[in-house]
Chain A
């Protein structure tokens, strides 16, 4: 009974309802940056190798930023992801010890840890009513303490087979990019087509209304926290496959906590929750990676790079805010 036209209309309709208007804007920004970079760097910028390099640089941050999008959409956020990335990298490599037979158990243990951390964050926020910022900061400190008390250098190693995740490809497409694409496709599908996705927007938009409409808002918040923790675990697994062994500093060095939040807001998702989506975040991640790439190629002082990044993050959010204020006017 569903005609193609109907499906299409519904598709478009849901898109407009569930994606913030600023979601489109970030792609314009990305396009402008690509054009600008091309002009600055020259034709080599748009070479297959260079684009591949930009996308590959985006994988680690991209995966956890997809999770961060979901938890921000539900009206929360997660500052514990950076240390969870480290915990995953260290534990995965410590369990595997170069033995391919231990790959599956190691991944399973890491995912289980992700679920536990996510549940902990979610339960503290919903049941103890601790503000998400404080709750996840506390959990981050706990993870850091445990990590630094147990290890202080590279621990164990991952087998060649596991390194394939970071280094091998299927035909011309690296596995890492497939992983990134898979995570975003899953996030996009979750938000757009599942009830959980709709509930995430509802709870993030107005938790009380959602609750009074029969949505178990606590459960939605907790689930979102489990999801973001699982994406942090995936990022940790990807990083350890790239580094061949896990070390406690890989997470904080990548600043995955604040960087992922930056990517989400640059991507047009409202920090207050309820509006936005993962596609904008993907563009946000690309914008950050592209800046890195251009500045490296032009060999500009890295401090200037930070200044430009700062301006872009603040500028993007200001433009979204102005846009929505005008609409409300």
Chain B
């Protein structure tokens, strides 16, 4: 009997251990990364437009990749000290837990189950993913309210289906869903006129409209069907590493708020506009010590990767083929929901 109890206890301990194998101690991840000399960050198994794609020479680029670069630069002062590990959607959490990657930056939302059941921890949101609806222009829709009785293309096997149904019910209209699994097929169906509208994750929608080459013939309706805050995700338990992620993002946002770009960062560092700016750029001490980073880490990030606005415009916005609006993913003083933490 005693033996059996011991066996059961050992098994239980083993299971708990197996379920959360990498309960990281504070500061451990940063030490590991520094010792390795390179940050392992998530890429994609193929291409995820705008966020992680491959240029003609096989180098990674995109919104998520640039944030990986920012974290690598914060730690090492050099964006080249980054190893992008190609990873499928299904592989994200096991790879993080097993230590294959140090941080997941992969257009992934912060959810209850990821937070509580999978043993993960989030940074602040770096992107507001909104579910939106695109419609053919000749239908003259002002908002989804006008679309009563219309047909709508929806990706199968996603939460978007429920979100659209709930939203339609809320505004009191009836829609006729056309549910299709594969994105290429789904878009084909919409562009060939099988559906009046097309509901999709905002960036994917905007990119589809641009890729079709006929931006003027389709409008993206102002209705926000649902919001998913995309976050950087790390292992539970390493508070220091969460801080590094949060403050990297915060530095990017603060730099944008203060008008510090990769081009003028040197001038501003020489003549800081405020004590907080001086601290941010390492002209005054104190920015790095508590994080375990050098004092000029934020200066390096802004100098070598750019501020948040530069990263966005380069990958998704005006300088990219996708020409996306900042929308909610903007600073608080520009009509968005992003904000930096306070540097005191």
Q: Do A and B come from one complex?
A: no
Residue positions of A touching B, CB distance < 8 A? none
